[in-house]
Amino acid sequence: MLKTVTTDTAALKILDDRLRWLSAWTIHHANHVRESADGLKVGGHQASCASMTAIMAALYFHALGPNDRVAVKPHAGPVLHAIHYLLGSQSREQLENFRGFGGAQSYPSRTKDRIPVDFSTGSVGLGVAITLFASLVQDYLTDHGRLGANERGRFVALIGDAELDEGNIYEALIEGAKHDVRNLWWIIDYNRQSLDATSADRMFERFDEIFKSCGWRVVELRYGKKLAAALDKHPKLKGWFETLPNAELSALHYRGGAAWRARIAAELGKSAAAFLKDHDDAALAALFTDLGGHCMDSLIEAFDAAQDDVPTLFIAWTIKGYGLPFAGHKDNHAGLMNPTQMAALRDAMGVREGHEWEPLESVGDNARPGVESLIERSRILREKRARAFGGVAVPAIPAPAGDEQSTQAAFGRILLDLSKAGGDLADRIVTTSPDVTVSTNLGAWVNQRGLFRRDGIGDVFAQEKIASAQKWSSDKKGQHIELGIAENNLFLMLAAAGLAGDLFGTRLFPIGTLYDPFIARGLDALNYACYQDARFLLVATPSGITLGAEGGAHQSINPPLIALGQPGLRHYEPAYADELAAMMEQAFRLIDDPAGESTYLRLSTRNIAQVDRPNDSWRDGALQGAYWLRPPAPGAEAAIVAMGAVMPEALAAWDELSADIPGLGLLSITSPDLLHRGWTAAQAARWKNPPRNGEGDHAQHGGGAASHVESLLSQLAPSAGLVTLADAAPASLSWLGGVLGQRVAPLGVERFGQTGSLPDLYAAYRLDGAAITEAVAELLLPA
Ligand SMILES: Cc1ncc(C[n+]2csc(CCOP(=O)(O)OP(=O)(O)O)c2C)c(N)n1
Ligand SMILES: [Mg+2]
């Protein structure tokens, strides 16, 4: 038994060296060997990689099981690529093209890298927190009978120590403690350096307290075996070593053995003389760099000892740039070895010139079988899995009945009806909200489907027979995950649940609700979720100054603009309940479609009279972003163009104005986002496939179809005027004038809102009939 462990450790140390070499070489090749097309620095992080090659070798070639999933700190991406290169799942061409177009990405990317990447990373802190929510999703799936015990795994985050400054980590930690999360390993590469400098000392002994108080086990790997033994023999030296501030420690690591000698002699004098005599400079440098995160025996021991499901924080002490010439230097974050330094490293690591890409270069014949068998074992465990899509039938979703409705209330009704009807889709829906479940109309759904909690908590108010509309009992079968007020957590929860098909082979239909203005609070996490192609439905309500008396702090203005610029997220803003039903059906389809995306619904609490529909002809247009609610006469000179909750004002203005302006149209916009995308895509298609000479208008003839918005607007005269109306930043719609060059008078909200009744607010912010009339009149005045 002991023998196996020893052999394993020796092979793992070799793999550690291989990873350090290959990651450094990949970055070096991209910067100094590959031809540069633009003269720009390519970049990469050799020091950040070298810091954690031992940790990653111990993990990937020893500790990880087949179901374990890892978020790798962004700037250690090249180490992950090197691991897959050794496993045979990454090609030399991809590494040679690191940071190049179509090559291995700078930071691990689920969607763009060809190796299996469990979680994309890049924006520090988010990759850490998503592992916690993924673990919660794993428990959810298990308790819902969708994941077998032998399919469960552990979620590992490899974290840079400066990442610990990101507040989203603590928001997640607190949420995790409430849900009793488990099966987490968060491993800190504790090199005590960030991008700019060495880390402040004051937080040193605090992180472990923070984690412990949230129920985590904290394992500190401060010393490697050799250093621990040496310091144990010499308590005075140990005391001195442990009080060295970060900056001084890093400087000593950089300067090396002679500096250690001089400093120890000066500060410990005679008491350290024998110790110094026993160690030459090289031995001193080797000894003091033997920190826990570089010591394979310590790492293996620690990982092997943490096999239960208690969430565990490993604080692995390391040196940034370990084994490289700039180890410990405060400026090493983006530092690159020059060709001379790289050649010296190559020689020191026994790599022959011209053999830099050999996976097992410099591994001796005796060691090879051990190394190869570790690689073989890990290869099987880390195979890429197919993504699970297309397995769920989405039924037609009928519109809720009612002459007057708000889109927010209709949302609650639709979910309630879905729940009552039952079926596969309803069973796969998981809702979540950061303490606004009730005020976003999820209450009825939660009453039906219950809250998810592994420990199950009774509803005390119901047991005490206190009347309440909300029945909040929870158990393992509940389908709503209630979060504390941290919108970042909402988006990370949606990201994790939205990857369930990929991570666990089971598709979920996650729906998250929040107030529209507070999207901004979680924006980077929302972007992060979209970046990795997580699929979910985001319902943001209430929105706009239509919220009325709640006032400016809660009235959203710019989210449609955010959505306009956010890839992977489709914005729909319905005015009517039947539109909402169609959009929810579409959103569910998009969640389970390989080429789909996530959807953002911007809803309102305003009750508005529903329109009579003679038929379903509006539906396709509504799903594409717009339809004529009042079709214009061919070549009409004007149209009102309105979105969402202000549709009654637009309709009233149309009624009033159409007597004087025959043929006036009313265009109902349901998605500026889709219209814009369609417009630019149609243009790009025409550039690739241009019209034949002299065939006129691009929008209507020649190579490539007109987009939806072009078709709609081309029913008006080329010189027509558009009055656009949105309870949002007017730029959400004003761009429509650019499509065919028609003139625009944009109405919308550009100042912070305030309290008031709707007539007051619509008048003050120019969203009312008077404003529309004035705007139309101005557009139609002869120039
Ligand atoms: C949200 C965010 N802010 C800033 C950055 C830029 N950045 C990349 S790495 C880094 C410092 C990382 O230091 P640390 O986490 O200690 O990692 P190390 O390289 O030392 O292992 C910074 C500021 C980023 N990637 N993400
Ligand atoms: Mg660091």
Full DSSP string of 333-378:
TT----HHHHHHHHHHTTPPTT-TT-TTTT--TTTHHHHHHHHHHH
The answer, yes or no, to whether residue 7 has pLDDT greater than 70, is no
Instruction: Over range 351-365, report the average pLDDT.
Output: 97
What pLDDT sits at residue 384? 63
Region 224-250 average pLDDT: 95
- pLDDT at residue 701, as a whole number: 44
The identity of residue 619, as a single letter, is: R
Atom of ligand 1 nearest to the CA of 123: 26
Looking at the CA of residue 318, tell me the nearest atom of ligand 1. 21
Give 292 Cα–ligand 2 centroid separation in angstroms.
15
Q: Does the CB atom of residue 192 touch ligand 1 within 6 A?
A: no
Spatial contact of 495 and 71, defined as CB atoms under 8 Å apart: no
The Cα 418–Cα 396 span in angstroms is: 10
CA–CA distance from 80 to each of 84, 95, 665 (Å)? 6, 11, 57
- Phi and psi for 780 in degrees, rounded to 5? -90, -10
Q: Ligand 2 center to residue 193 CA distance, Å?
A: 4
Residue-wise pLDDT tens digits, 483-507: 999 999 999 999 999 999 999 999 9
Q: Provide the 3-class DSSP secondary structure of residue 8.
A: helix
Those residues whose C-beta lies under 8 Å from the C-beta of residue 26, and which sit 6 or more positions away, are 44, 78, 81, 82, 95, 98, 104
Residue 10 burial class via C-beta count within 10 angstroms: exposed 0-12, middle 13-18, buried 19 and up:
middle
Distance from the alpha carbon of residue 49 to the mean position of ligand 1, in angstroms = 13
Q: Is the CB of 160 under 6 A from ligand 1?
A: yes
Contacts of 123 (CB under 8 A, 6+ apart): 74, 524, 527, 528
Going by alpha carbons, the residue nearest to atom 1 of ligand 1 is 123
- Looking at residues 275-299, what average pLDDT do you find? 97
Cβ–ligand 1 distance for 199 under 6 Å, the answer no
The closest alpha carbon to 513, from 586, 587, 588, 438, belongs to 438
191 lines ligand 1 (CB under 6 A): yes
Lowest mean pLDDT across 145-159, 396-410, 461-475: 461-475
Answer yes or no: is pLDDT of 555 > 90. Answer: yes
Between the CA of 159 and the centroid of ligand 2 the distance, in Å, is: 9
Q: Cis before residue 510, ω within 30 degrees of 0?
A: no
pLDDT at 687: 82
Q: Which ligand is nearest to the CA of 52?
A: 1
Indicate if ligand 1 lies below 6 Å from the C-beta of 189.
yes
Instruction: Kindly give the number of the ligand 1 atom that is closest to the alpha carbon of 166.
Output: 1
Q: Is the pLDDT of residue 5 over 80?
A: no
Average pLDDT over residues 583-594: 97
192 alpha carbon to ligand 2 midpoint, in Å? 5
Question: For the CA atoms of 435, 441, 447, 448, what is the dihedral angle to 10 degrees?
Answer: -130
- The proportion of the chain whose per-residue pLDDT surpasses 70, expressed as a percent, equals 96
* Protein residue closest via CA to atom 9 of ligand 1: 195
Query: Nearest-CA neighbor of 725 among 779, 659, 667?
Result: 667
Each residue's pLDDT tens digit, 606-633: 999 999 999 999 999 999 999 999 999 9
The answer to whether the CB of 126 is under 6 A from ligand 1 is no
Q: How far is the CA of 319 from the centre of ligand 2 (A)?
A: 9
The single-letter DSSP state of residue 482 is: E
Question: Is the pLDDT at 2 greater than 90, yes or no?
Answer: no
Q: Are 391 and 505 in contact, with CB atoms under 8 Å apart?
A: no
- How many C-beta atoms surround the C-beta of residue 254 within 10 A? 18
Q: Which three-class secondary structure state does DSSP give residue 642?
A: strand
Query: Looking at residues 143-150, what average pLDDT do you find?
Result: 95
- Rounded to the nearest whole angstrom, what is the distance from the C-alpha of residue 722 to the centroid of ligand 2? 55
75 ligand 1 Cβ < 6 A: yes
Q: Comparing 72-86, 202-216, 374-388, 582-596, which segment has the lowest mean pLDDT?
A: 374-388
Q: pLDDT tens digits for 414-428?
A: 999 999 999 999 999
Least confident of 81-90, 223-232, 672-681, 683-692: 683-692
As a whole number, the mean pLDDT across the chain is 94
Distance 48 CA to ligand 1 centre (A): 10
CA of 303 from ligand 2 middle (Å) equals 21
Question: Is the CB of residue 477 less than 8 Å from the CB of residue 448?
Answer: no
Q: 670 and 599 in contact (C-beta within 8 Å)?
A: no
Q: What is the distance between the alpha carbons of residues 127 and 72, in angstroms, rounded to a whole number?
A: 7
Ligand closest to 75 (CA) is 1
Pairing of strands 69-71, 626-630: unpaired
75, 106, 488, 527: residue to mutate for ligand 1 pocket, most atoms within 8 A of CB:
75
Residue 165 Cα to ligand 1 midpoint, Å, equals 10
Instruction: Pick the atom of ligand 1 nearest to 125's CA.
Output: 1
**CA-wise closest residue to 176 among 129, 233, 143:** 129
- Tell me if 163 CB under 6 Å of ligand 1: yes
Q: What is the mean pLDDT of residues 635-650?
A: 97
281/178 Cα distance (integer angstroms): 51
Say if residues 624 and 538 touch (Cβ distance below 8 Å): no
Determine the distance separating the centroid of ligand 1 and the alpha carbon of 196, expressed in angstroms.
9
Does ligand 1 come within 6 angstroms of the Cβ of 51?
yes
CA-CA distance, 112 to 99, in Å (whole number)? Answer: 12
pLDDT at 458: 82
Decide if 499 contacts 133 (C-beta within 8 A).
no
pLDDT digits (tens, 9 = 90+) for 730-770: 999 999 999 999 999 999 999 999 999 999 999 999 999 99
Mutation to probe ligand 1, out of 164, 195, 204, 326 (largest number of atoms < 8 A from CB): 195
Query: 194 C-alpha to center of ligand 1: Å?
Result: 6
Confidence of residue 469 (pLDDT cuts 50, 70, 90): confident
Tokens matching residue 585: 């059906």
Q: Residue 160 CA: which ligand 1 atom is closest? A: 15
- Per residue in 44-85, pLDDT tens? 999 999 999 999 999 999 999 999 999 999 999 999 999 999
> Is the Cβ atom of 527 under 6 angstroms away from ligand 1?
no
CB environment 542-581: b (16+ within 10 A), e (fewer) = bbbbbbbeeeeebbbbbbbbbbbebebbbbbbbbbbbbbb
| From 55, 333, 523, 531, mutation site for ligand 1 pocket: most ligand atoms within 8 A of C-beta | 333
Closest atom of ligand 1 to 126 CA is: 1
- Rounded Cα–Cα distance for residues 30 and 26 (Å): 6
**Ligand 2 mean position to 198 CA, how many Å?**
8
CA of 192, nearest ligand number = 2
Report the separation in Å between the CA atom of 202 and the middle of ligand 1, taken as the mean of its atom positions: 19
Residue 203 in this model has a pLDDT that exceeds 80: no
Atom of ligand 1 nearest to the CA of 333: 19
Q: Which residue has the tokens 């053995």?
A: 257
Determine whether the shortest distance from the Cβ of 328 to ligand 1 is under 6 A. Answer: no
Distance 162 CA to ligand 2 centre (A): 5
Q: Whose CA is nearest to atom 23 of ligand 1?
A: 195
What does the alpha-carbon distance between residue 731 and residue 673 come to, in Å, rounded to a whole number?
12
Q: Say if ligand 1 is within 6 A of residue 198 CB.
A: no
Distance from the alpha carbon of residue 526 to the mean position of ligand 2, in angstroms: 26
Dump the DSSP string for 660-674. TSTT-EEEEES-HHH
Q: For residue 102, what are its two tokens?
A: 């179509």
pLDDT attached to residue 381? 74
Q: Of ligand 1's atoms, which has the minimum distance to the CA of residue 45?
A: 19
In a 10 Å sphere around its CB, with 0-12 CB exposed, 13-18 middle and 19+ buried, how is residue 65 labelled? exposed
Q: Which residues contact 267 (CB under 8 A, 6 or more apart)?
A: 240
230 CB neighbour count, 10 Å cutoff = 21
DSSP H or E segment with residue 160: strand 155-160
Q: Which two tokens stand for residue 442?
A: 């999820």
- Alpha-carbon distance 64 to 156, whole Å? 9
Q: Strand ranges (DSSP E) for 623-778? A: 626-630, 636-643, 665-669, 716-726, 743-747
- The answer to whether the CB of 43 is under 6 A from ligand 1 is no
Contacts of 21 (CB under 8 A, 6+ apart): 345, 346, 349, 351, 361, 362
Q: What is the DSSP string of 488-522?
A: HHHHHHHHHHTTHHHHHS---EEEEEE-GGGGGGG
Residue 46 Cα distances to 19, 116, 128, 321, angstroms: 11, 22, 21, 7
Three-state secondary structure call for residue 464? coil
Instruction: Say what percent of the chain tops pLDDT 90.
Output: 89
Q: Is the CB of 169 under 6 A from ligand 1?
A: no
Q: Sorting pLDDT into bands at 50, 70 and 90, what band is 696?
A: very low
Q: How does DSSP classify residue 616?
A: S
Mean pLDDT, to the nearest integer, of 237-248?
94
543-547 mean pLDDT:
96
pLDDT at 6: 52
